Amino acid sequence: MKIYYMGILRNETKPALELSGEKDLSRFTRDNYNEFMMLFTKTVAERTKPGQRQTIEEKSYTFHSMSRDGIAGVIVSDSEYPPLVAQQLLSKITDEFISKHPHSEYANTNLPERSLSFPQLADYIKKYQDPSQADSIMKIQQELDQTKIVLHKTIESVLERGEKIDSLVAKSDGLSAQSKMFYTQAKKQNSSEYLAKNYLTADPQPERPKKKRKKNKHHDPLTSDGDGLIIADDDPPSLRAAAGDLAINEYDENSPYVLDSSASRGLGAEFKKKKKSGWKTVGDTTTVVSSRAGQDEADAILASAAAESAARQEAHEADDAPTIEGGIIQDMEDDDGGGERMESGARAGLQTAAQTAAMVAAQERRKKAELAAFQRSAQQEGTGGETIYRDASGRIINVAMKRAEARKAAEEAAKAEQAAKEALMGDVQRQAKQERMEQLRSARAMPLARTIEDEDLNEELRNQERWNDPAAQFLTTKKTAKSKTGRPLYTGGFAPNRYGIRPGHRWDGVDRGNGFEKEWFQARARKDRIRDLEYEWQMDE
């Protein structure tokens, strides 16, 4: 039983930030496991909701977490450490951390990692390596804290839907390239060991002979009597292997890592003889599995394992090849690789001319591919067509009809405004306007030069009356004046007005106005008289 890590992280923002923490790792595994442990620790802290407790089992490690007040306490231990003790210890360290550091100290988003001091963690990670030291905590907290602990089998169960550990490792910024390469190689070795350990029993025969046991009279038809390959169980075994199965504990950090050569090759010269098969008999059958059939099954399993290994190798090699996403080929030059990119597509920093040219070409290809994809999607979706408008009830609005109605309403409003203006005009003004329009229409056929043969011009000049006409006294007949409207004119005297309009022929001579016209003429006459007097006085001097 061992505690590898104990720390406090801020999980109210993503990514989670380590405020304080302590590790207990050996110097042999510190470089390889430290980055992965912190990656999974931050992931567990982000996925732990406020007021929730979780215990996640991932292979030989167990992550215990609890969240409250914007922080999450996380303990990483082996699978044998009691979860209840770990949860009570989390309650203790989170309470002490909150009492020492209020929320305002770690609410700043620009806070660096491990910036808050919490020296008690160094003492706790040494003291509580033995769970019996936490008995006093357990007795008190069992009565007060009845929070349900959520148990997860693997860390993948706390990730979001569709998210895998491989993608989490690939897009993590906290892992170096060496750690990612170590993760890939370790995954390949673990898969080979898993097949050899769980499906192949290739341990050599013990040198010391065993005692003979008396066999039962009832013979198991599924027991293989000959030497050869034995399929023990098709289901994966328990995560906790017995201590006697392995000579070296593979999870012991202080022991060297040894890879079984026979298991890695998948072949062995000698296999252990199995006394009883792990297969269960369904129904009453008398079929006996011969050694030849067992050998065929072993060959099939080995072929399947080899095919899976080759497929993983091809997938690993295909990482360097262009990938296709939605019909667009993406080159390796498109990958930023963690570096800053300029607008041309070249990465900042020292680069060779060939690398820069390749990155610029990849950027141009990517832009052309995106433009082509956008044009295809625009054609498929019918972009550029007429927009359909709907009212609040969902009915389609005919925009063309609405525009025609708006134009018609505007024309009617203009006509009404023009009619209102014409209504304010008198009959004489309307008659004069009509005459001007007729003159303009007749001027279309009128020649440019008007001579003495123009009858209309002669008639117009003949009807004009001039006050200084010397021949006016010789006229014997006088024309009766008529208004332009055809009505007779008033022949009596009347007060002048600004517009020179005669009163109607039926006027009785009574001025029914407010006297403004009279005052207007008096004011103008007074102004002219004063101007004349001022001029005369100046001349007298």
DSSP assignment string, 33-50: HHHHHHHHHHHHHHHPPT
- Asked whether residue 184 falls in the same domain as residue 167, the answer is no
- What's residue 248's pLDDT? 46
Separation of alpha carbons 419 and 413, rounded Å: 10
Residue 408 lies in a domain: yes
315 and 345, same structural domain?
Answer: no
Query: 310 and 363 share a domain?
Result: no
The answer to whether residues 195 and 49 belong to one domain is no
Q: Are residues 184 and 295 in the same domain?
A: yes
Same domain, 191 and 272: yes
200 burial via Cβ count (<10 Å: 0-12, 13-18, 19+): buried
Tell whether 502 is covered by a domain. Answer: no
Contact indicator for 267, 236 with CB cutoff of 8 Å: no
What confidence score (pLDDT) does residue 80 get?
Answer: 81
Same-domain pairing of 121 and 196 = no
Q: Please tell me the total count of domains within the chain.
A: 4
In a domain, 64, yes or no: yes
Q: Show the domain range for 254.
A: 179-204+224-277+287-320
Which residues is 58 bridged to in the sheet? 61
Same domain, 154 and 30: yes
> Helix, strand, or coil here: 228?
coil
Flag whether 200 is in a domain.
Answer: yes
Residues 272 and 194 occupy one common structural domain: yes
Tell me the pairing of strands 53-58 and 396-397.
unpaired
Neighbouring residues of 355: CB distance < 8 A, sequence distance ≥ 6? 347
313 and 373 both lie in a single domain? no
148, part of any domain:
yes
The reply to whether 424 falls in a domain is: yes
Write the CATH number for 109: 3.30.450.50
The tokens of 23 are what? 């590790």
- pTM value surpassing 0.85: no
pLDDT confidence of residue 282: 52
Tell me whether residue 162 is in a domain: yes
Judge if 190 and 163 occupy the same domain: no
Average pLDDT, consecutive stretches of 10 residues, N- to C-terminus, the chain (541 residues): 85 83 72 74 84 83 86 87 85 86 80 81 82 64 55 61 64 65 68 63 53 55 45 47 46 50 44 50 46 68 80 67 47 53 80 88 91 80 70 89 94 94 84 88 83 86 85 72 77 87 89 92 96 88 61
On whether residue 306 sits in a domain, the answer given is: yes
Q: Are residues 303 and 431 in the same domain?
A: no
pLDDT score of 121: 84
